[in-house]
Amino acid sequence: MSNNKIIDLGSSEDPLVLDCGKSIGPIKTAFTTYGELNETKSNAILVCHALTGDQYVASEHPITKKDGWWSLLIGPEKSIDTNKYFVICPNVIGGCMGSTGPNEINPKTGKEYGLDFPVVTIGDMVKAQKLLIDSFGIEKLFSVIGGSMGGMLVLEWLSKFPSYVFSAIPIATTTNHSAQNIALNELARQAIMADPEWKSGNYNIENTKPVKGLSVARMAAHISYLSEQSLHEKFGRNLQNKNKIEFSFDADFQVESYLRHQGFKFVDRFDANSYLYITRAMDYFDLKAENNGSLIEAFKNTNSHILCASFTSDWLYPTSENKVIIKAFNALGLNVSFVEIETDNGHDSFLLDEPEFFQTIKGFLDATYKKL
Protein backbone atom coordinates (compact mmCIF):
# COMPACT_ATOMS: atom_id res chain seq x y z
CA MET A 1 0.00 0.00 0.00
CA SER A 2 1.41 3.35 -0.98
CA ASN A 3 1.55 6.33 1.34
CA ASN A 4 2.54 8.62 -1.49
CA LYS A 5 1.33 12.23 -1.43
CA ILE A 6 1.79 14.93 -4.04
CA ILE A 7 1.55 18.63 -3.20
CA ASP A 8 1.99 21.87 -5.04
CA LEU A 9 4.61 24.20 -3.59
CA GLY A 10 5.19 27.80 -4.56
CA SER A 11 2.98 29.36 -7.19
CA SER A 12 3.12 31.09 -10.52
CA GLU A 13 3.38 34.40 -8.61
CA ASP A 14 6.02 33.04 -6.25
CA PRO A 15 7.91 30.47 -8.32
CA LEU A 16 11.06 28.52 -7.57
CA VAL A 17 13.92 30.43 -9.19
CA LEU A 18 16.35 27.89 -10.61
CA ASP A 19 20.14 28.22 -10.84
CA CYS A 20 19.89 28.39 -14.64
CA GLY A 21 17.83 31.59 -14.29
CA LYS A 22 14.47 30.15 -15.26
CA SER A 23 11.56 29.78 -12.84
CA ILE A 24 8.95 27.11 -12.19
CA GLY A 25 5.86 27.64 -10.10
CA PRO A 26 4.01 25.94 -8.72
CA ILE A 27 6.21 22.88 -8.44
CA LYS A 28 4.85 19.46 -7.61
CA THR A 29 6.60 17.40 -4.99
CA ALA A 30 5.77 13.74 -4.45
CA PHE A 31 6.81 12.38 -1.07
CA THR A 32 6.23 9.71 1.53
CA THR A 33 6.29 10.01 5.32
CA TYR A 34 6.69 7.40 8.04
CA GLY A 35 6.00 7.83 11.75
CA GLU A 36 4.55 10.94 13.40
CA LEU A 37 5.89 14.47 13.61
CA ASN A 38 6.06 15.33 17.32
CA GLU A 39 4.53 18.49 18.81
CA THR A 40 7.76 20.45 18.87
CA LYS A 41 8.47 19.32 15.31
CA SER A 42 11.91 18.26 16.43
CA ASN A 43 11.98 14.62 15.32
CA ALA A 44 11.95 14.97 11.52
CA ILE A 45 14.52 13.15 9.40
CA LEU A 46 14.76 14.08 5.73
CA VAL A 47 15.90 11.20 3.54
CA CYS A 48 17.49 12.17 0.22
CA HIS A 49 17.46 9.56 -2.53
CA ALA A 50 20.16 8.72 -5.07
CA LEU A 51 20.13 9.03 -8.88
CA THR A 52 17.59 6.31 -9.56
CA GLY A 53 15.97 6.28 -6.15
CA ASP A 54 12.58 7.74 -5.29
CA GLN A 55 10.24 8.53 -2.41
CA TYR A 56 9.45 4.85 -1.76
CA VAL A 57 12.22 4.57 0.79
CA ALA A 58 10.45 2.31 3.28
CA SER A 59 7.22 1.31 1.56
CA GLU A 60 6.35 -0.87 -1.41
CA HIS A 61 7.26 0.50 -4.82
CA PRO A 62 4.08 0.91 -6.89
CA ILE A 63 5.69 -0.42 -10.09
CA THR A 64 8.16 -3.05 -8.96
CA LYS A 65 6.09 -4.09 -5.92
CA LYS A 66 9.38 -4.44 -4.07
CA ASP A 67 10.10 -3.20 -0.55
CA GLY A 68 11.37 0.36 -0.26
CA TRP A 69 15.03 0.85 -1.14
CA TRP A 70 15.99 1.50 2.50
CA SER A 71 13.41 -0.72 4.25
CA LEU A 72 16.26 -2.52 5.94
CA LEU A 73 17.29 0.73 7.60
CA ILE A 74 14.00 2.55 8.18
CA GLY A 75 10.90 1.33 10.02
CA PRO A 76 9.51 0.59 13.45
CA GLU A 77 12.40 -0.43 15.76
CA LYS A 78 14.89 -0.33 12.91
CA SER A 79 18.04 1.82 12.90
CA ILE A 80 15.98 4.80 11.84
CA ASP A 81 13.10 4.00 14.18
CA THR A 82 9.82 5.35 12.85
CA ASN A 83 8.24 4.89 16.29
CA LYS A 84 10.57 7.67 17.37
CA TYR A 85 11.37 9.71 14.27
CA PHE A 86 9.25 11.27 11.56
CA VAL A 87 10.77 10.35 8.22
CA ILE A 88 10.12 12.43 5.09
CA CYS A 89 11.35 11.29 1.69
CA PRO A 90 10.58 13.44 -1.35
CA ASN A 91 11.19 12.59 -4.98
CA VAL A 92 13.67 15.17 -6.33
CA ILE A 93 12.56 17.66 -8.95
CA GLY A 94 13.78 16.43 -12.30
CA GLY A 95 12.72 12.95 -11.15
CA CYS A 96 10.01 10.77 -12.61
CA MET A 97 7.87 9.56 -9.73
CA GLY A 98 5.48 12.46 -9.45
CA SER A 99 7.64 15.50 -8.69
CA THR A 100 8.01 18.20 -11.30
CA GLY A 101 10.28 16.84 -13.99
CA PRO A 102 10.71 16.38 -17.73
CA ASN A 103 7.91 13.81 -18.04
CA GLU A 104 5.35 16.02 -16.27
CA ILE A 105 2.93 18.43 -17.93
CA ASN A 106 4.16 21.99 -18.41
CA PRO A 107 1.25 24.05 -17.03
CA LYS A 108 2.11 26.86 -19.41
CA THR A 109 1.70 24.74 -22.55
CA GLY A 110 -0.47 21.87 -21.36
CA LYS A 111 2.08 19.51 -22.95
CA GLU A 112 4.79 17.34 -21.47
CA TYR A 113 8.02 19.24 -20.82
CA GLY A 114 10.45 16.81 -22.47
CA LEU A 115 13.72 18.64 -23.12
CA ASP A 116 11.95 21.99 -22.57
CA PHE A 117 12.27 21.23 -18.88
CA PRO A 118 14.98 23.51 -17.51
CA VAL A 119 18.29 21.95 -16.46
CA VAL A 120 18.07 21.71 -12.67
CA THR A 121 20.87 21.45 -10.14
CA ILE A 122 21.41 19.76 -6.81
CA GLY A 123 20.85 23.25 -5.36
CA ASP A 124 17.47 23.50 -7.08
CA MET A 125 16.46 20.09 -5.74
CA VAL A 126 17.30 21.22 -2.21
CA LYS A 127 15.41 24.51 -2.65
CA ALA A 128 12.35 22.44 -3.56
CA GLN A 129 12.90 20.18 -0.55
CA LYS A 130 13.13 23.27 1.63
CA LEU A 131 9.66 24.37 0.46
CA LEU A 132 8.34 20.95 1.46
CA ILE A 133 9.95 21.19 4.91
CA ASP A 134 8.51 24.70 5.30
CA SER A 135 5.06 23.34 4.44
CA PHE A 136 5.31 21.13 7.52
CA GLY A 137 6.33 24.12 9.63
CA ILE A 138 9.60 22.41 10.49
CA GLU A 139 12.30 24.92 11.35
CA LYS A 140 15.03 22.46 12.15
CA LEU A 141 15.37 18.97 10.73
CA PHE A 142 16.67 16.58 13.34
CA SER A 143 18.67 14.94 10.58
CA VAL A 144 19.27 14.89 6.84
CA ILE A 145 20.59 11.64 5.44
CA GLY A 146 21.46 10.32 2.00
CA GLY A 147 23.98 8.27 0.02
CA SER A 148 25.58 8.92 -3.36
CA MET A 149 23.58 11.77 -4.96
CA GLY A 150 21.55 11.75 -1.74
CA GLY A 151 24.80 12.64 0.01
CA MET A 152 25.27 15.59 -2.33
CA LEU A 153 21.83 16.85 -1.32
CA VAL A 154 22.84 16.49 2.35
CA LEU A 155 26.00 18.53 1.71
CA GLU A 156 23.96 21.16 -0.12
CA TRP A 157 21.60 21.43 2.86
CA LEU A 158 24.61 21.88 5.16
CA SER A 159 25.99 24.60 2.93
CA LYS A 160 22.83 26.54 2.01
CA PHE A 161 20.45 26.02 4.93
CA PRO A 162 22.78 25.24 7.81
CA SER A 163 20.44 26.49 10.51
CA TYR A 164 17.81 23.98 9.40
CA VAL A 165 20.07 20.99 9.98
CA PHE A 166 20.67 19.71 13.50
CA SER A 167 22.52 16.67 12.26
CA ALA A 168 23.54 15.23 8.91
CA ILE A 169 24.69 11.91 7.48
CA PRO A 170 26.33 12.20 4.05
CA ILE A 171 27.25 8.72 2.78
CA ALA A 172 29.55 7.58 -0.04
CA THR A 173 29.50 10.93 -1.76
CA THR A 174 31.51 13.89 -2.99
CA THR A 175 31.40 17.69 -3.21
CA ASN A 176 32.16 17.49 -6.93
CA HIS A 177 32.29 14.80 -9.57
CA SER A 178 35.66 13.63 -10.78
CA ALA A 179 36.40 13.47 -14.51
CA GLN A 180 35.79 9.70 -14.29
CA ASN A 181 32.36 10.25 -12.68
CA ILE A 182 31.43 12.75 -15.41
CA ALA A 183 32.73 10.35 -18.07
CA LEU A 184 30.54 7.52 -16.77
CA ASN A 185 27.47 9.77 -16.70
CA GLU A 186 28.23 11.09 -20.17
CA LEU A 187 28.50 7.51 -21.44
CA ALA A 188 25.01 6.84 -20.04
CA ARG A 189 23.58 10.01 -21.58
CA GLN A 190 25.08 9.20 -24.97
CA ALA A 191 23.65 5.68 -24.80
CA ILE A 192 20.17 7.14 -24.21
CA MET A 193 20.45 9.86 -26.84
CA ALA A 194 21.85 7.33 -29.38
CA ASP A 195 18.56 5.43 -29.24
CA PRO A 196 16.37 6.61 -32.14
CA GLU A 197 13.33 5.81 -29.96
CA TRP A 198 14.45 8.65 -27.70
CA LYS A 199 13.14 11.03 -30.41
CA SER A 200 15.09 14.04 -29.13
CA GLY A 201 13.34 13.61 -25.80
CA ASN A 202 9.81 13.47 -27.24
CA TYR A 203 9.30 9.72 -26.92
CA ASN A 204 6.13 10.00 -24.85
CA ILE A 205 4.51 12.37 -27.32
CA GLU A 206 5.61 10.16 -30.21
CA ASN A 207 4.54 7.03 -28.33
CA THR A 208 7.91 5.31 -28.36
CA LYS A 209 10.30 4.36 -25.56
CA PRO A 210 14.12 4.39 -25.62
CA VAL A 211 14.23 1.00 -23.90
CA LYS A 212 17.56 -0.15 -25.34
CA GLY A 213 19.42 3.11 -24.76
CA LEU A 214 18.23 3.46 -21.17
CA SER A 215 19.01 -0.17 -20.59
CA VAL A 216 22.61 0.22 -21.78
CA ALA A 217 22.93 3.32 -19.59
CA ARG A 218 21.80 1.29 -16.58
CA MET A 219 24.23 -1.52 -17.38
CA ALA A 220 27.11 0.95 -17.40
CA ALA A 221 25.98 2.41 -14.09
CA HIS A 222 25.61 -1.04 -12.57
CA ILE A 223 29.19 -1.94 -13.39
CA SER A 224 30.30 1.20 -11.56
CA TYR A 225 28.15 0.40 -8.51
CA LEU A 226 29.81 -2.95 -7.91
CA SER A 227 33.41 -3.65 -7.02
CA GLU A 228 35.56 -6.01 -9.06
CA GLN A 229 35.62 -8.25 -5.99
CA SER A 230 31.82 -8.36 -5.64
CA LEU A 231 31.41 -9.16 -9.33
CA HIS A 232 33.98 -11.90 -8.89
CA GLU A 233 32.26 -13.34 -5.84
CA LYS A 234 28.76 -13.11 -7.30
CA PHE A 235 29.52 -14.36 -10.78
CA GLY A 236 33.18 -15.04 -11.48
CA ARG A 237 33.24 -16.81 -14.85
CA ASN A 238 30.18 -18.94 -14.05
CA LEU A 239 28.05 -19.89 -17.01
CA GLN A 240 24.33 -19.17 -17.19
CA ASN A 241 22.27 -22.39 -17.17
CA LYS A 242 24.78 -24.25 -19.28
CA ASN A 243 27.85 -26.44 -18.88
CA LYS A 244 30.01 -25.01 -21.61
CA ILE A 245 30.34 -21.92 -23.74
CA GLU A 246 28.12 -21.87 -26.80
CA PHE A 247 30.23 -19.87 -29.26
CA SER A 248 27.48 -17.30 -29.72
CA PHE A 249 26.51 -13.81 -28.62
CA ASP A 250 23.85 -15.05 -26.21
CA ALA A 251 24.47 -14.54 -22.52
CA ASP A 252 26.87 -17.41 -21.85
CA PHE A 253 28.17 -15.93 -18.62
CA GLN A 254 26.00 -15.22 -15.56
CA VAL A 255 27.34 -11.70 -15.33
CA GLU A 256 26.06 -10.98 -18.86
CA SER A 257 22.63 -12.32 -18.06
CA TYR A 258 22.57 -10.32 -14.81
CA LEU A 259 23.48 -7.06 -16.55
CA ARG A 260 20.91 -7.55 -19.29
CA HIS A 261 18.30 -8.23 -16.65
CA GLN A 262 19.28 -5.16 -14.63
CA GLY A 263 19.05 -3.05 -17.76
CA PHE A 264 15.70 -4.26 -18.95
CA LYS A 265 13.91 -4.25 -15.60
CA PHE A 266 15.09 -0.69 -14.95
CA VAL A 267 13.23 0.79 -17.92
CA ASP A 268 9.90 -0.21 -16.40
CA ARG A 269 10.37 2.11 -13.48
CA PHE A 270 12.53 4.93 -14.74
CA ASP A 271 12.29 7.70 -17.28
CA ALA A 272 15.05 8.31 -19.83
CA ASN A 273 14.83 12.10 -19.75
CA SER A 274 14.94 12.10 -15.95
CA TYR A 275 18.14 10.09 -16.23
CA LEU A 276 19.63 12.83 -18.39
CA TYR A 277 18.55 15.65 -16.08
CA ILE A 278 19.60 14.02 -12.82
CA THR A 279 23.02 12.89 -14.07
CA ARG A 280 23.54 16.44 -15.37
CA ALA A 281 22.71 17.87 -11.95
CA MET A 282 25.25 15.52 -10.36
CA ASP A 283 27.96 16.50 -12.85
CA TYR A 284 27.31 20.20 -12.31
CA PHE A 285 27.42 19.96 -8.51
CA ASP A 286 30.56 21.66 -7.28
CA LEU A 287 30.47 23.16 -3.79
CA LYS A 288 34.14 23.98 -4.03
CA ALA A 289 33.99 25.95 -7.30
CA GLU A 290 30.97 27.97 -6.20
CA ASN A 291 32.84 28.99 -3.05
CA ASN A 292 36.01 30.22 -4.71
CA GLY A 293 37.70 26.86 -4.35
CA SER A 294 37.15 26.60 -0.60
CA LEU A 295 35.08 23.93 1.10
CA ILE A 296 35.71 25.74 4.36
CA GLU A 297 33.89 28.70 2.86
CA ALA A 298 31.11 26.36 1.65
CA PHE A 299 30.44 25.07 5.15
CA LYS A 300 31.40 28.15 7.19
CA ASN A 301 27.93 28.57 8.73
CA THR A 302 27.43 24.91 9.48
CA ASN A 303 27.05 23.93 13.10
CA SER A 304 25.55 20.47 12.70
CA HIS A 305 26.49 17.14 14.21
CA ILE A 306 27.81 15.09 11.32
CA LEU A 307 28.43 11.43 10.57
CA CYS A 308 30.22 10.60 7.32
CA ALA A 309 30.39 7.05 5.99
CA SER A 310 32.26 5.48 3.11
CA PHE A 311 32.93 1.93 1.92
CA THR A 312 36.34 0.39 1.28
CA SER A 313 35.46 -1.13 -2.11
CA ASP A 314 33.53 1.88 -3.50
CA TRP A 315 35.47 3.10 -6.54
CA LEU A 316 32.78 5.56 -7.68
CA TYR A 317 32.92 7.73 -4.55
CA PRO A 318 35.99 6.29 -2.84
CA THR A 319 36.96 6.97 0.75
CA SER A 320 39.53 9.50 -0.45
CA GLU A 321 36.71 11.68 -1.86
CA ASN A 322 34.79 11.43 1.39
CA LYS A 323 37.87 12.38 3.36
CA VAL A 324 38.09 15.67 1.47
CA ILE A 325 34.72 16.58 2.99
CA ILE A 326 35.72 15.45 6.47
CA LYS A 327 38.89 17.49 6.26
CA ALA A 328 36.84 20.64 5.68
CA PHE A 329 34.48 19.81 8.56
CA ASN A 330 37.43 19.18 10.85
CA ALA A 331 39.09 22.41 9.81
CA LEU A 332 35.91 24.16 10.92
CA GLY A 333 36.03 22.37 14.28
CA LEU A 334 32.67 20.68 13.72
CA ASN A 335 31.45 17.67 15.62
CA VAL A 336 32.23 15.01 12.99
CA SER A 337 32.36 11.25 13.14
CA PHE A 338 33.69 9.21 10.27
CA VAL A 339 33.35 5.52 9.61
CA GLU A 340 34.80 3.56 6.71
CA ILE A 341 32.94 0.27 6.39
CA GLU A 342 35.04 -2.72 5.31
CA THR A 343 33.06 -4.44 2.57
CA ASP A 344 33.44 -5.95 -0.90
CA ASN A 345 30.04 -4.67 -2.06
CA GLY A 346 31.27 -1.51 -3.77
CA HIS A 347 29.25 1.69 -4.02
CA ASP A 348 26.01 -0.30 -3.75
CA SER A 349 26.89 -1.07 -0.11
CA PHE A 350 24.82 1.82 1.21
CA LEU A 351 21.69 0.08 -0.11
CA LEU A 352 22.59 -3.39 1.11
CA ASP A 353 22.40 -5.22 4.40
CA GLU A 354 25.53 -3.89 6.08
CA PRO A 355 24.94 -4.40 9.83
CA GLU A 356 27.94 -2.36 10.97
CA PHE A 357 26.77 0.55 8.81
CA PHE A 358 23.19 0.35 10.13
CA GLN A 359 24.42 0.07 13.70
CA THR A 360 26.61 3.14 13.26
CA ILE A 361 23.68 5.20 11.98
CA LYS A 362 21.48 4.06 14.83
CA GLY A 363 24.14 4.85 17.41
CA PHE A 364 24.78 8.28 15.94
CA LEU A 365 21.11 9.24 15.69
CA ASP A 366 20.18 8.01 19.16
CA ALA A 367 23.14 9.75 20.79
CA THR A 368 22.56 12.96 18.83
CA TYR A 369 18.84 12.99 19.65
CA LYS A 370 19.78 13.32 23.31
CA LYS A 371 21.66 16.52 22.50
CA LEU A 372 18.54 18.27 21.15
Cα separation, 246 vs 226, in Å, equals 27
How far is Cα 313 from Cα 315, in angstroms, rounded to an integer? Answer: 6
Count of residues that interact with its own copies, criterion CB under 8 A: 56
Q: Is residue 290 part of the contact set for its own copies (CB under 8 A)?
A: no
Answer whether the bond into residue 26 is a cis peptide, omega within 30°: yes
Does the protein bind its own copies through residue 179 (CB under 8 A)? yes
The region that residue 248 occupies, defined by phi over 0 for left and psi between -120 and 50 for alpha, beta otherwise, is beta
| Interface pick for its own copies out of 154, 191, 272, 308 (rule CB under 8 A) | 191
Instruction: Provide CB contacts within 8 A for 110, sequence distance 6+.
Output: none
Footprint on residues 229-258 left by its own copies (CB under 8 A):
231-232, 234-237, 245, 247-249, 251-253, 255-256
Is 294 an annotated catalytic residue? no
User: Considering the rule CB under 8 A, would residue 324 count as an interface residue with its own copies?
Assistant: no
Contact (CB, 8 A) for 135 and 9? yes
Q: Are 165 and 184 in contact (CB under 8 A)?
A: no
| Amino acid (one-letter) located at 33 | T
Span of 138-146, 151-159, 167-175, 190-198 interacting with its own copies by CB under 8 A: 190-198
User: Residues 17, 37, 220, 332: which binds its own copies (CB under 8 A)?
Assistant: 220
Q: Is 178 in the site for its own copies (CB under 8 A)?
A: yes
Burial 137-148 (b: 16+ CB within 10 A, else e): ebebbbbbbbbb
**Largest pairwise CA distance in the chain:** 67
Give Cα separations from 38 to 82, 136, 328 (angstroms): 12, 11, 33
The candidate with the shortest Cα–Cα distance to 298, out of 321, 329, 333, is: 329
Stretch that binds its own copies, among 81-89, 94-102, 281-289, 333-341 (CB under 8 A): 281-289
Q: Which stretch binds its own copies (CB under 8 A): 145-153, 179-187, 333-341, 359-367?
A: 179-187
Among candidate residues 148, 224, 227, 230, the one labeled active-site is 148
Identify which range of 34-42, 69-77, 101-109, 280-288 contacts its own copies by CB under 8 A.
Answer: 280-288
Instruction: Tell me if 186 contacts its own copies by CB under 8 A.
Output: yes
Sign of the Cα pseudo-torsion (302, 151, 153, 75, in order): negative
Distance between CA atoms of residues 53 and 130, nearest Å: 19
For its own copies, the binding residue among 2, 64, 163, 190 (CB under 8 A) is 190
Residue 6 interacting with its own copies (CB under 8 A): no
Which residue from 24, 30, 158, 219 is in contact with its own copies, where contact means CB under 8 A? 219
Annotated catalytic, 67? no
The least distance separating its own copies from the CB of residue 307, rounded to whole angstroms, comes to 26
Asked if 213 interacts with its own copies (CB under 8 A), we say: yes
Q: Report the residue from 119, 332, 334, 339 that binds its own copies according to the rule CB under 8 A.
A: 119
Contact flag: residue 327 with its own copies (CB under 8 A) = no
Nearer to its own copies, 187 or 334 (CB): 187
State yes or no: residue 20 binds its own copies (CB under 8 A): yes
Member of 63, 105, 183, 331 binding its own copies (CB under 8 A)? 183
Q: Cβ 299 to its own copies, closest distance in Å?
A: 19
Active-site annotation holds for 248: no
State how far the Cα of 345 lies from the Cα of 312, in Å rounded to an integer. Answer: 9
Could you write out the DSSP letters of every residue in 264-322? HHHTTT--HHHHHHHHHHHHH-BTTGGGTT-HHHHTTT---EEEEEEETT-SSS-HHHH
Q: Is residue 2 exposed (0-12), middle (13-18) or buried (19+ Cβ within 10 Å)?
A: exposed
- Per the residue annotation, which of 54, 124, 314, 348 is the catalytic one? 314
Cα 82 to the center of its chain, rounded Å = 21
Site residues for its own copies per CB under 8 A: 19-20, 115, 118-119, 176-180, 182-184, 186-187, 189-191, 193-196, 212-213, 215-216, 219-220, 223, 226, 228, 231-232, 234-237, 245, 247-249, 251-253, 255-256, 259-260, 263, 276, 280, 283-284, 286, 289, 315
- Supply the residues annotated as catalytic: 148, 314, 347
